[in-house]
Amino acid sequence: MWLVLLSYQFAALLLTRAQNACIGHSTFRSPVNSDIEVLCGSQSVELQILLCPVYFNGYNESLLALNSEHSKQQCKGTPDWTVDPPVVKFNFSITEEAITDCSSKLTVGHLNFSHVQYINISGMICSRDPTTGAITYHQEVMYRFSCRYPLQYLVNNTQMSVLAVKDNNGSFISTLSMQLYSDNSYSSTLQIPPGGLELKTRIFVEVRASNLTNRFNVLLDRCYATTSPFPVNTTYHDLFVGCDRDGQTVMGVNGEQQEARFSFEAFRFVQDADATFSTYYVHCATRLCVNSFCPTNCTTGTNLRRRRSTSDNQGTTVSDMATISSGPIFIRLDNGENLYGLLELKATTMTKAQLYVC
């Protein structure tokens, strides 16, 4: 009994001291919207609210919680009386579990190929009225917040990641990979012999994203081949752009799950007519889409995706897309003759891919 009484008196003393620290302070006044400061970080959302306006309205930090989740300790704030003006701080990591644990809202903008797609995290800091009677004279305290991220997606472990390796804000972890196969079951990795592949050999391509939540699918907007290992404005051949595809390209799945698949027949570039073999690289402009919005139907006469003009030619600055590339594909130009004695190329296994910012 005495311990409980002493604890109550100690808490009352702290509350009195805290309120005394606010009396006479310039922020000891009614709350306004500008009392909250929001930091939308790459791994967490951090909120700071001025404490003195909260005390002015008859509340304290223990009566504030994220989205009125007053019974959950992780949804409570931490006061900081060492700074001027005093603040109460809230923070939560950008994972689907942490966002929903305190009932914050996670919404995703509708997919639009001419605009950047956003994920929006929003919520509010709400007060709990300490009055136990039928009426109260306390005005409710409520601060709303929101953070918007360009085409970033929640991963299952620790952080929000983005497709591109780098953007203006720094480095991000990519979960994209590209693999080439020799069979339509996508089980046998493509082995390129020292002499290169024969023309019209069918090559199966898979682009996969790992460690995603089930909210997102992989969507290939455009896949093409270039004579350069980089997705730049060199000689290129479009395998498909949206629903428009080359006659030898066969689409598998695209926008329907967390890997996208297609195949094409090996060809050569005309400029390599005098060379021993033709070398080129496959690039895929890749984005994530919300599975409920992914445009997956390519019916005759209907193009659900925006086709780029020739002037675009993969030079887009839209930040919600990344281009992933294969290693070199060697195609022999000997009309079936054996070049094993002429070439000193080791057998190549297509196991690596590169990411580039669009």
Whether residue 144 is found in the same domain as residue 218: no
Closest CA to 300 of 243, 251, 242, 226: 243
Residues 6+ apart with CB under 8 A from 116: 150, 151, 318, 319, 320
Mean pLDDT by runs of 10 across the 358 residues of the chain is: 46 54 91 93 89 93 96 96 95 85 80 53 93 87 86 39 31 65 95 92 92 78 89 83 93 92 94 82 86 66 37 33 86 59 34 44
CATH of the domain at 191: 2.60.40.4100
For residue 180, is it within any domain? yes
Write down the pLDDT at residue 177: 86
Residues 120 and 48 occupy one common structural domain: yes
**SS3 of residue 265 by DSSP:** strand
Distance of alpha carbon 222 from alpha carbon 242, whole angstroms:
6
Residue 14 placed within a domain: no
d(CA 228, CA 144): 50
Query: Residue 169: its pLDDT value, please?
Result: 33
Print the domain residue range for 327: 161-357
> Is 194 a domain residue?
yes
- How many independent structural domains does the chain possess? 2
Q: Rounded to whole angstroms, how far apart are CA atoms 243 and 223?
A: 11
Of the residues 102, 119, 150, the one at which a domain ends: 150
pLDDT at position 117 is 55
Identify the DSSP state of 189: B
Residue with tokens 């005390």: 55
- Three-state SS sequence of 99-116: HHHCCCEEEECCCCCCCC
pLDDT in tens, 53-63: 999 999 999 99
Q: What is the pLDDT of residue 70?
A: 95
8 Å CB contact between 304 and 295:
yes
